[in-house]
Amino acid sequence: MEIKTVGIVGAGQMGSGIAHVFAMAGFDVQMTDISTDSLAQAIDLIARNLERQVSRGKIAENADKAAMARISTTDRLIDLGSCDLIIEAATERETIKVAIFEDLVPHLAPHTILTSNTSSISITRLASRTDRPEKFMGFHFMNPVPVMQLVELIRGIATDETTYKTLLGVVEQLGKTAASAEDFPAFIVNRILMPMINEAVYTLYEGVGSVSSIDSSLKLGANHPMGPLELADFIGLDTCLAIMNVLHDGLADTKYRPCPLLTKYVEAGWLGRKTQRGFYDYRGEVPVPTR
């Protein structure tokens, strides 16, 4: 089927980034969020990011205005029901995602494809709470969405081939690259990335190295663009902990046990960049390690 209209649930960092790339690719986009302030902030962020792309010559003059004209917002979830494709990009908590899909189902068009941007939660389980598990997939974008090239496509046990091929075509229209993953905890990227971050936190917890030495070692010794603790702050420590818990619970292997120090930071509300404190303190002009 041809996808023309896209509904996005959630106006946070991921939702706004997804809206940005879909609008630039020529899709009509409708965003919703329980917070009208979040919707306004998302529109402002998208506009600023598009203007920056124009100023740097990344996109053509006036392409930003054309893209913004394709984005609309609503605070009513049910308004998305007529969209060809819906992407849920809400908080990484299964109860929240399930509630969203259950509220959406009675208002969906028969052809609508449902997807989740979840980074770790079972697609099969989410799909089972809808009326169309065959038209349900994981559609996992990387952060920041306008910059990162990869999209993970995750089929649940009931996902049909038409749905998969349709979304494969959508990824191509976005100018991105798809990686197909099986529906196991955390899929591909986070199955590999999060244990590395968790091990970096253990390395800090056990006193093997400081925040600075751990990040410098991976940047200079493994040629990583960001150190693992810096990256954890960028992702959000609560998200990192949630994914480690999904891995630990879903695979029942002690190698996925979240580091107690990671749990402690989340308990303190030090979640990284979004709260101004994590493994670094961002309240000054230059980030300063907190340990």
Query: Which positions are catalytic?
Result: 119, 140, 152, 190
**Alpha-carbon distances, residue 50 vs 54, 149, 197, 219, 289 (angstroms):** 6, 17, 31, 29, 32
Task: Spell out the residues 6+ positions from residue 106 whose beta carbon is closer than 8 angstroms to its own.
Answer: none
CA distance 246 to 76: 30
User: Max alpha carbon distance in the chain (Å)?
Assistant: 56
Q: Which residues of 97-125 are buried (b: 16+ CB within 10 A; e: fewer)?
A: bbebbeebeeebeeebbbbbbbbbbbbbe
Q: How far apart are CA 125 and CA 148, in angstroms?
A: 27
In the chain the beta strands, taken as DSSP E runs, fall at: 5-9, 28-32, 71-74, 85-88, 113-116, 136-141, 150-155, 177-181, 280-281, 288-289
Nearest-5° angle of CA 186, CA 100, CA 132?
Answer: 80
Q: Does an H or E element contain 22, and which?
A: helix 13-24
CA separation for the pair 212, 107 (Å, rounded)? 51
Neighbours of 284 (CB within 10 A): 8
Helix (H) / strand (E) containing 261: helix 260-267
DSSP 34: S
